[in-house]
Chain A
C-alpha cells in the first residue's frame, strides 16, 4: 500500500514534468484519491478516431506496480479490442504481460497505439472484429468514425 502510493506519487511528479512532451495525453489524478486517475487521449491521426478526444478511467490496485492498473474507456468507442458497453480494453500489457516497467503514461501510449493498430483476432467487440476480419475496412472505418463523431468530438454550433 505504502509502496504503491510512493510509486504513484513519483508518477504524478513525472506527469507534471512531461506534460509538454506528450501533447496527445492528458493524465489527471483524482484530487482526493491517488489510486484514481483519468486520462484524455487524442485519437491518432490517419485513423477513424482522428479529431476525437477519448476519456480513460484508471483504477489502480494496492499491489501496483506489481499488478496492472485497470483501465477502461469512458468515451464510447467502436474498436475490436474495446468492449462496446463497458469500455473494457483487451491489451496484453494490462493483463499477463504487465510489468512495473510500464507507467500510467506509457499505458496511455500503448492504448493510442492499439487504436491505430487494432487486433481483430482477439476481439471484445465482435461486430467490429468481424468487419476487419472479413476485409471490410471501409465498413469498420465508417462505423468507427461515426461513433467517434457522436461520442468523442465536441458538438458544433
Chain B
C-alpha cells in the first residue's frame, strides 16, 4: 500500500519513522500509522472521483442516478424539478456541507455584488474572532484561516485590486486544496466558536447526538477536517455569520396520504440574542439552498 500513496505521503512517512524497509514485511511491524495511512489512501482514492466542487448539472442527472432505484425518490426528484433547475455536486469527504456553503455564498456575492451583505458578514466575522479569543484560542491558530476567507470575500466584489469577475475563477479556487480547505477550516472555527459561546443553547442538541460534552463535541466533531456536519453545525454557522440556509431533504420517507412532497427546512439566523428561529420566520428567503441526501450535501439552484 505504501507505494500507492504518491511521492508526498512517502516522503512524510520516511521522515517520521526510521523503520528499516526490511522490517516492513513483518506484520508485527505494521503500526497504527500504517493502518491510518492505508485508510486515508483509500479515502483519498475514492474522493478524487468527485471534484471538491463539481460543475453545474441539470437536475435530470440526479434522476438518472436513481433510474433503477426507489420509486419514491424518483417521484420526489420530479417534484424537485418544479422548483429547482440544477445541482452542483461536492465531494463526499465529510466537508461537503462547509464546501457547499462556501461556494454558494461566494457565488451569490459575485452575482449580486451585494456590498451591504459583505459588510454585514465582515462585521460578524470580527465578532467570531472575538469569540474565539475570549474562549482562549491563540490568535495564530486561526488567523490565517480568517484572512484567507476575507481575501476570497474581497475578490468576488468588483472594484478591488484583486477582484475576479469570472465564475470560473471561484470554481478554480474552490477546487484548489490550499484555498478550499482553508476556507472550510475557517467555517469550522466559526462554527465551533459559536457552539461553545452558546453552549447552554446547544447542549441538549449535542447530548441528543452523542454522549459528549459541548467542548468534547467541538474538539472531536466540529474542528477536525472531514468530520460530517449535522443540524447543530448548520444552526451554529448560520447564526454566527447571520446567513440563512435552506436545506431540502431528499430521502425515502413518504407521507400517509399517498402524495409525495419534498420537505425543506430553513435555518434562519438569530436576531440579537434570540436563539435560531429555525423555520418559524416566513419573511426571510435563504439565497443558499442545499440538497441533503442522508450523509451528504450538494448545492441546488432554483429556477
Contacts and interface: CB of A to CB of B under 8 A. Distances in A.
B16 A96 contact: no
Given A10-B140, A59-B15, A96 B33 contact: no
A103 B141 contact: yes
Interface in B118-168: 137-138, 140-142, 144-145
Contact of B224 (A36, A57, A61, A97): A97
Contacts of A95: 32, 36
Contact of A86 (B19, B182, B189, B223): B19
A99 B16 contact: no
Contact of A59 (B16, B138, B185, B219): B16
A103 B137 CA distance: 11
B226 interface: yes
B219 A11 contact: no
B141 A101 contact: yes
Contacts of A36: 15
B138 A103 contact: yes
A86 B17 CA distance: 7
B32 A90 contact: yes
Given A70-B16, A98-B224, A86 B144 contact: no
Contacts of A85: 29
A95 B20 CA distance: 23
Given A95-B36, A96-B226, A61 B142 contact: no
A66 B225 contact: yes
A72 interface: yes
Given A7-B140, A66-B225, A95-B32, A100 B145 contact: yes
B3 interface: no
Contacts of B223: 99-101
A136 interface: no
A122 to B, nearest CB: 9
Taking residues whose C-beta sits less than 8 angstroms from the other chain, chain A's interface range is 20 to 34
A121 interface: no
Contacts of B17: 70, 72, 86, 88
Nearest to B35: A95
A147 B140 CA distance: 38
B31 A7 contact: no
A137 interface: no
A56 to B, nearest CB: 12
Contacts of A11: 140
A100 B32 CA distance: 21
Nearest to A71: B16
Contacts of B225: 66, 98-99
Nearest to A62: B8
Contact of B31 (A88, A100, A101): A88
A3 B31 CA distance: 30
Interface string A131-146: 0000000000000000
A101 B181 contact: no
A35 B16 CA distance: 11
Interface string A80-109: 000101101010100111111111000000
A153 interface: no
A124 interface: yes
A69 to B, nearest CB: 9
Given A14-B138, A62-B8, A99 B188 contact: yes
9 contacts: A10-B140, A11-B140, A62-B8, A66-B182, A86-B17, A88-B32, A97-B224, A100-B185, A124-B31
Given A14-B140, A62-B8, 20 more contacts: A7-B140, A7-B144, A14-B138, A59-B12, A66-B181, A70-B12, A70-B15, A86-B17, A86-B19, A92-B220, A95-B32, A95-B36, A96-B226, A99-B223, A99-B224, A100-B141, A100-B185, A100-B223, A101-B141, A101-B142
Q: Which 8 A-B pairs have the closest CB atoms?
A: A70-B16, A99-B223, A59-B16, A10-B140, A59-B15, A99-B224, A88-B31, A61-B12
